[in-house]
Amino acid sequence: MIHSLFIVNSSGDVFLEKHWRSVVSRTCVSYFLDVHRESANNVPPVLSTPHHYLVSIQRNGISLVAACKQEFPPLFVIEFLHRVVDTFEDYFSECNENVIKENYVIVYELLDEMLDNGFPLATECNILKELIKPPNILRTIANSVTGKSKYYARTISGTLPSGQLSAIPWRRTGVKYTNNEAYFDVVEEVDAIIDKNGQTIFAEIQGYIDCCIKLSGMPDLSLSFMNPRLFDDVSFHPCVRFKRWESERILSFIPPDGNFRLMSYHVGSQSIVAIPIYVRHNLVLKSGEQSRLDITVGPKTTMGRTVEGVKLDICMPKAVTNCSLVVNQGKYTYDTVNKILHWDIGRIDAAKLPNIRGTVSVASTNSTLETTIDRVHFTISQMAVSGLKVNRLDMYGEKYKPFKGVKYVTKAGKFQIRM
């Protein structure tokens, strides 16, 4: 299926290539680079060239481009490329050009195990970590003392991973923990467009549930919700039994060991999405060159929760020559090149200072000003804006009682306020 994989940096240079079925010249990547230079954010995921199909994803400032010679299911290859990046992030904590260059040997070993003759083989981190040991500080120090180069240090285990012998490929056998714990993070991102009058034009929620499971043996978990019908669309980790979800709206699964994403979900605009904060604004145009923009920010539907990490990015028109901000909280910077005013508000505590006010003095060469608050950032702990609540978590197959915890977080996604 996949003949070659090329990893390209933001400058358009191929800094890693891996071939499986046959050697594909890196000149084929030029078709991808031509489209990428025209519009980096609008590159089609599949490009057809005279001799190859190029499938690409872009994450963390790098692009992964897979070259295929025959027709194939495109979503299958796209999902594999995302799995490659997720594996690198699991091994190295992050995935960027510098990290990949520092761990060339491990990266090539991972790609060898993840793909066999162009077809996915082992893509679960639990299995890969038994085959290829992740880098750590002790190994780095040992290599420095013994004089072994990190580029030639062997990291492949000599034993067959127990997960390969199991009927459940995502979980290894013989897992044992002194403290058995299961943590679930329910994270929701709000996408919204608000008009000049403060009315919500569009609002929806993108959510996901991340897990940290450290349970001994082979536990069988069942997770139920108070209001599962609010989901408009869902996607699951392969461990979830989909038939039971369809019939009972219960997540039944044997979990992988460690950190993983259990499910992603979508709450559409047809549902009532409450915006957690409000942003009121008033633009005053004077006859001269000086204008004023008054902005008030505060919590709206936060159920008494403290809003943290509040930031506003205000896009100014090209006619603006300079602007200054007078605020009762936070600090600001103005990007004169991109014409963006960054206002870092920080934390909003409704009990102490419910309304945050800022006055922007704008100097421009045009009397007509049209601005937008193009990006809004905020984080609210212990709250799911959709109203999603976990009902209970049951465990079968093991006799011990684990410690269970659920955390809710609401964040700003693609948030725009028009003025």
* Angle, CA of 35, 40 and 41, to the nearest 5°: 120
What is the Cα–Cα distance from 371 to 315, expressed in whole angstroms?
A: 6
What is the Cα–Cα distance from 360 to 349, expressed in whole angstroms?
A: 23
Q: Which has the closest alpha carbon to 311: 325, 323, 292? A: 325
What is the Cα–Cα distance from 399 to 220, expressed in whole angstroms?
A: 11
Token pair belonging to 51: 């001799």
Tens digits of per-residue pLDDT, 375-390? 788 888 888 888 889 9
Q: Is the pLDDT of residue 149 over 80?
A: no
The most confident of 11-15, 30-34, 149-153, 251-255, by mean pLDDT: 251-255
The CATH-assigned architecture of domain 2-137 is: 2-Layer Sandwich (3.30)
Tens digits of per-residue pLDDT, 19-40? 998 888 888 888 888 888 887 7
Cβ atoms of 113 and 122 within 8 Å: the answer is yes
Q: How far is CA 223 from CA 234, 241, 386, in A?
A: 15, 12, 18
Beta-ladder partners of 260: 211
Instruction: Tell me the average pLDDT of the chain.
Output: 82
* CA dihedral of 91, 92, 94, 98, whole degrees rounded to 10: -140
Classify domain 277-381 at the CATH class level.
mainly beta
Cβ atoms of 74 and 82 within 8 Å: the answer is no
Q: Is the pLDDT of residue 220 over 90?
A: yes
Q: Where in the chain is the domain with CATH 2.60.40.1170?
A: 181-273+385-418, 277-381
Tens digits of per-residue pLDDT, 69-93? 888 888 999 999 999 999 998 888 8
Q: Is the pLDDT of residue 151 over 50?
A: no
Q: How far is CA 246 from CA 228, 241, 267, in A?
A: 11, 9, 17
* Residues in contact with 177: Cβ distance below 8 Å, sequence separation at least 6, in sequence order: 214, 215, 216
Q: Where in the chain is the domain with CATH 3.30.450.60?
A: 2-137
Per-residue pLDDT, 374: 72
Element (H, E) at 390: strand 390-396
Share of the chain above pLDDT 90, in %: 29
pLDDT tier at 234, thresholds 50, 70, 90: very high
Q: Domain 181-273+385-418 adopts which CATH fold?
A: Immunoglobulin-like (2.60.40)
Q: What average pLDDT does this structure show over 273-287?
A: 73
Per-residue pLDDT, 148: 53
Q: Which has the closest alpha carbon to 266: 122, 96, 386, 132? A: 386
What is the Cα–Cα distance from 376 to 370, expressed in whole angstroms?
A: 18
Tens digits of per-residue pLDDT, 307-335? 888 888 888 777 777 777 787 788 888 88
- Supply the DSSP symbol for 49: -
Token pair belonging to 335: 């990007």
Token pair belonging to 316: 């100014």
pTM of the model: 0.75
* Residues in contact with 167: Cβ distance below 8 Å, sequence separation at least 6, in sequence order: none
